[in-house]
Amino acid sequence: MAESMPLIGIPADYRVLAGAGVHIADETYIRAVAEQVGAIPLILPVLGETLDLTSLLSGLDGVLLTGSQSNVAPARYGGEISDPGAMHDAERDAQNLPLIKAAVSARIPLLAICRGFQEVNVAYGGSLHQKLHEQPGRLDHRAPFGQPVDIQFDMAHPVEFPPGSLLRHLLGTESAMVNSVHWQGVDRLADGLIVEAVASDGTIEGVRIADAAEFALAVQWHPEHRPAENPVSRAIFAAFRAAVLKRAEWRRGKV
């Protein structure tokens, strides 16, 4: 009998469309999980604090936290009130912030991207700049407005991988070009996070969770965009895949 494919949970965003609540996830993340990791992407409904995380995580082999048009609510990290019209997702915040620590405690591989990267910092007690481009000395990390998707997600700036970092080990290089499609960025780095990548303006763009027993990496850029064409993206997803397969093998042995 063929072994079942690993399951990777992708927590959804919560939106209200035409008066109805919907739970949605961007297709690029779903395809990256299916094609680069070789796993079944499982979209997790956003049930906030009512979701039984222990039961949920017991059936998963990995968790991928996606980017989003919404931002983590400033109240979650003691930030100033957002500008009128800023998009937030209280349901996602309520679910993902505790989910991150629960997944790490359960030894489940975790890959966090863009908003997910910011969620990791907030979950561990860090804070965010809401408008990184307005901070003195910082680059404008936003995508070029009104351009086609491939131009928005084109390589934008280099990041450096510190000595001893996981990314330097995986990539075999000290730096690489990445895309840049974000307004927010790390302000105060949370205790318990180790810097994995830094942009030339000092913006932290990658971290790993220090006390995680398994793969637990977060990046500010978007490796899910056309990942097969980018060696950095391929290396990140390959490392995630190895950890996911290890978890899946352990779970099958527990049945």
What's the rounded Cα separation, in Å, for the pair 1 and 190?
46
3 in active site: no
Q: What angle do CA 102, 106, 109 make, to 5 degrees?
A: 95
What's the rounded Cα separation, in Å, for the pair 122 and 193?
11
Identified catalytic residue from 129, 141, 222, 225: 222
Identified catalytic residue from 91, 129, 224, 225: 224
How far is C-alpha 242 from the geometric centre of its chain's CA atoms? 18
Helix axis angle for 90-105 and 115-123, nearest 10°, is: 70
What's the rounded Cα separation, in Å, for the pair 110 and 243?
9
182 in active site: no
For every residue of 115-180, which 3-state class applies, written as one string?
HHHHHHHHHCCCCEECCHHHCCCCCCCCCCCCCCHHHHCCCCEEEECCCCCHHHHHHCCCEEEECC
Task: Write phi, then psi, for 109 (nearest 5 degrees).
Answer: -55, 140
Pair of tokens at residue 83: 């500008």
Identified catalytic residue from 114, 129, 182, 225: 114
| Beta strands 20-24; 40-44: pairing state | unpaired
Q: What is the CA radius of gyration of the chain?
A: 17
214 in active site: no
Q: Hey, which residues are catalytic here? A: 114, 222, 224
